[in-house]
Amino acid sequence: MSGQQGVTVAGRPGLVAGALLLIVSCTTGGPRLDPARSEVLAGSARDAATTPAPVLRSEEARKPPGSRPGAADLQAMAVQMALAHKDRPAADRVRDTPRQSAAVLRFFGIRPGMTVLDLYSGGGYYTEILSYLVGAQGRVVAHNNTPYLNFSRAELASRFVPGRLPNVTRLTAENNELRLAPGEFDAVLMTDVYHDIYFVDEKAGWPRIDGPRLLAELYQALKPGGVLGVVDHAALPGAPPETGGTLHRIDPGLLKAGITAAGFVLDGESDALINPADDRTKSAFDPSVRGRTDQVVLRFRKPL
C-alpha cells in the first residue's frame, strides 16, 4: 500500500517480530475465524471505493495501552506488510485499491507459514502478494493452463525472473488434468475464475471443465479446516450457467450450490467488492464496467 503505511509498521519492530512469530505459530490447528469479525476486517464496499484500509482498524484503538494484539490484528498486519513489500511492481500496486486485495486476504485469513494454491493464477498478481504474505516458512503454488500462460506471457516473464519469489512453485495443468497431493494446502484461492468452469473454447485449448471433478480435487487437496476463497463477477440471480462463458459472470446462488455440493461449508461473505452501480448484465470485460464489476467474495471451508 502507501509508503506511509509501510513506515508505520516498520517503525514498530518489536511488535511486528512478535506478531509474526505468533501468526506462524497459529498456522496449523489455529482457531476458526469468526465470520462476524472477518466481515469487520474486510470492510465495506463504501470504504473500499475511497481509500485503502488502515493497518489496524478501530478495534485496535479501543484496546487498553500495552495489550497484545489479537490473532486477526496480527494477520491484518502481515497482509499490510506483504502489500508494502519493496519488490512489488508499480503496476501491481495500482491494482490494490480496485481489487481490495488487503480486505480480501484478511477475510480469507491467509497468514505466514501457510501453503496456498493460487488456481488459474494468470499473470500472478495474487501469487506475488501471497509469496510475501506466507513468507519463508510458507509456500505458494501458482497454477495455470496453456491458455492462461499464453495470455499472460509478458507479465509472467518479468514476475518470475530467476531468483524472484523463491517460495513459489509454478504448476501447469490443463483443464481436467489437475492432480494435487491429499491434504497439501491450507488454502486455495480462485479469483475471478470460478465462472470459467462454464466457459468453452476448444480452438483456444479450453475444453469444458468438469466442475464437480475439479471441486473434488480441491477438496481432497485441502487440509481439514482449510479455506477455499472465491472472488468472482456476479451475474443476476437465476442467470444460467452459460453466463459464465458469455458474460464471464456467475450467479452467486449457482456458485454456492456447486461448492457446497462438493462438501465445502460456506463460512462467510464479504461486501468488499460490492458495486450497486453495476447492473450485472454486461460482460465483465465491457469497458463500462471492467475493473468495477459487482463481485462476490466468499469463504468456504473443508470441515474438520
The CATH H-level (homologous superfamily) assignment of domain 3-301 is Vaccinia Virus protein VP39 (3.40.50.150)
pLDDT digits (tens, 9 = 90+) for 127-143: 999 999 999 999 999 99
Q: What is the pLDDT of residue 65?
A: 55
Domain boundaries, the chain: 3-301
Q: What is the pLDDT of residue 63?
A: 53
The pTM for the full model equals 0.78
Helix (H) or strand (E) holding 41: helix 35-42
Which of 24, 46, 219, 223 lies closest to 134 in space, CA to CA? 24
Q: What is the pLDDT of residue 64?
A: 56
Q: Which three cell numbers stand for residue 13?
A: 519492530
Cα gap 269→287, rounded to integer Å: 27
Cα gap 118→186, rounded to integer Å: 12
Q: What is the pLDDT of residue 204?
A: 87
Q: What is the pLDDT of residue 71?
A: 83
> Coil, strand or helix: which one is 170?
strand
Cα gap 83→126, rounded to integer Å: 10
Q: What is the pLDDT of residue 21?
A: 41
- Beta carbons of 107 and 299 less than 8 angstroms apart: yes
Which residue stretches of 11-89 are H helix?
A: 13-25, 35-42, 45-48, 58-61, 71-83
Q: Which residues of the chain have pLDDT under 50?
A: 1-62
Q: What is the pLDDT of residue 67?
A: 55
Q: What is the pLDDT of residue 14?
A: 41
Q: Which three cell numbers stand for residue 37?
A: 469479525
β-pairing, 115-118 with 168-172? unpaired
